[in-house]
């Protein structure tokens, strides 16, 4: 029985998609499908069934999960032990500033719990600095913005789209179809980071030939968020930093998709030919799902 086939099975289980599993493993979808088919042949059992455009686990597939997980875990623990000759192997994880502040403190304890024989070193840096550290092999994997480099591979993870948010009770809270002119009349806080996405925000006012009322211009996300929470202004902020407040109801998102859409994600990036543990990769994907579920379950406060 090939360990690669079992890992392909677990990726499909956790991502509920052959296509997403192929992306996560940096393989073609036919390769993943072939590995699953071979595994099913060896087990003499059907593990997945088609349901419309999706897939579902069979009962035998569900029963195989704990055994597959244990096989993979034991294999990689043994591999790490033989590689280092000691109990602890070190992995260096990097993240840009926003991921470091809002996701990493949640995720690191989970990764350590699932990988007790792994020592974690963490580095927080800018996206440019992280790319350099990856290429120089100073960082094994990094959470950062999307980049294009022939020496690096990346995988889309956390949603960090730019959203317009207001405080509860603001006149825009229940409004739809806001105009640029209406938006320009409100006191705004602009978080300046020099990224092209923020230039898009400026552009919606330039195109309509209106001057926005920018009462505050700051370079720190928490300062910008606090100003909105204090009811001093409204503003465009990245989703990762306001997710908790949106779920709690202390901030409210206003739909301005008819004016502007700024989709952006945090990507998990590593060297094309770097050494990267599929087991840790799986744990990272699971931690992201737990992080999202955690915030979804926060109680919504009434206004």
User: Per-residue pLDDT tens for 95-110?
Assistant: 999 999 999 999 999 9
CATH node for 88-157+265-303: 3.40.190.10
Intrachain domains 1-86 and 88-157+265-303 with the same fold: no
Nearest by Cα to 120 from 136, 141, 134, 135: 141
Strand residues in 25-65 grouped as ranges (E): 48-51, 54-57
Average pLDDT over the chain, rounded to an integer: 86
Pick 107 or 153 by higher pLDDT: 107
Angle, helices 278-296 vs 18-25, to 10°: value is 130
- Tell how strand 141-144 and strand 234-238 pair up: unpaired
**pLDDT (0 to 100) of residue 193:** 64
**pLDDT (0 to 100) of residue 186:** 96
Class of domain 1-86: mainly alpha
Does residue 149 surpass a pLDDT of 90?
no
H/E segment holding residue 212: none
Q: Please give the Cα distance from 251 to 247 (Å, whole number).
A: 8
Per-domain boundaries in the chain: 1-86, 88-157+265-303, 162-254
Does residue 303 surpass a pLDDT of 50?
no
Residue range 256-272: mean pLDDT, rounded:
88
- Least confident piece of the model among 36-50, 133-147, 192-206, 232-246: 192-206
Nearest by Cα to 167 from 104, 219, 116, 230: 230
Question: Looking at the domain 162-254, which fold is it?
Answer: D-Maltodextrin-Binding Protein; domain 2 (3.40.190)
Residue 302 pLDDT level (bands cut at 50, 70, 90):
very low
Q: Are 252 and 166 in contact (CB under 8 A)?
A: yes
Three-state secondary-structure class, residue 17: coil
Q: What is the pLDDT of residues 188-237, one digit of tens each?
A: 999 876 555 677 888 889 999 999 999 999 989 999 999 999 999 999 99
Q: Please give the Cα distance from 268 to 280 (Å, whole number).
A: 12
Residue 297 pLDDT level (bands cut at 50, 70, 90):
very low
**pLDDT (0 to 100) of residue 185:** 95
Pick 288 or 84 by higher pLDDT: 288
Number of Cβ within 10 Å of residue 44's Cβ equals 7
Counting Cβ atoms within 10 Å, is residue 131 exposed (0-12), middle (13-18) or buried (19+)? buried
Q: Are 146 and 125 in contact (CB under 8 A)?
A: no
Residue range 62-91: mean pLDDT, rounded:
76
**pLDDT (0 to 100) of residue 273:** 55
Question: What are the structure tokens assigned to 281, written together?
Answer: 């990769």
H/E segment holding residue 74: helix 59-84
Residue 22 pLDDT level (bands cut at 50, 70, 90):
confident
Residue 23 pLDDT level (bands cut at 50, 70, 90):
confident
**pLDDT (0 to 100) of residue 20:** 83
Alpha-carbon torsion angle 11, 12, 18, 24, nearest 10: -20
Residue 70 pLDDT level (bands cut at 50, 70, 90):
confident
Nearest by Cα to 123 from 97, 86, 88: 97
Does residue 275 surpass a pLDDT of 50?
no
Cβ neighbours of residue 101 under 8 Å, at least 6 residues apart? 221, 241
């Amino acid at each position: 029985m090939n360990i690669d086939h079992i890992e392909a099975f677990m990726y499909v289980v956790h991502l509920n998609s052959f296509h997403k599993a192929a992306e996560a493993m940096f393989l073609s979808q036919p390769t993943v499908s072939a590995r699953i088919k071979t595994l099913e042949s060896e087990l003499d059992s059907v593990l997945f069934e088609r349901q419309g455009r999706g897939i579902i686990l069979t009962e035998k597939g569900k029963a195989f999960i704990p055994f597959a997980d244990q096989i993979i875990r034991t294999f990689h623990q043994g591999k790490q032990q033989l590689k280092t000759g000691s109990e602890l192997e070190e992995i260096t994880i990097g993240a840009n500033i926003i991921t470091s502040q809002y996701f990493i403190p949640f995720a690191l304890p989970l990764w350590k719990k699932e990988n007790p024989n792994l020592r974690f070193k963490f580095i927080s840096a800018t996206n440019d600095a992280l790319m350099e550290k990856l290429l120089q092999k100073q960082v094994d994997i990094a959470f950062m913005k999307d980049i294009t480099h022939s020496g690096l591979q990346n995988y889309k993870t956390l949603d960090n789209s730019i959203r317009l948010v207001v405080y509860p009770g603001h006149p825009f809270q229940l409004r739809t179809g806001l105009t640029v002119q209406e938006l320009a009349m409100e006191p705004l806080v602009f978080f300046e980071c020099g990224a092209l996405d923020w230039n898009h925000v400026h552009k919606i006012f330039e195109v309509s030939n209106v001057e926005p009322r920018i009462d505050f211009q700051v370079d720190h996300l928490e300062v910008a968020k606090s100003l909105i929470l204090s009811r001093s202004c409204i503003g465009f902020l990245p989703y990762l930093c306001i997710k908790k407040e949106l779920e709690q109801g202390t901030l409210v998102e206003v739909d301005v998709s008819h004016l502007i859409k700024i989709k952006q994600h945090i990507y998990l990036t590593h060297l094309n030919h770097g050494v990267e543990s599929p087991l840790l990769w799986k744990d990272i994907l699971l931690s992201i799902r737990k992080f999202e579920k955690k915030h979804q379950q926060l109680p919504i406060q009434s206004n």
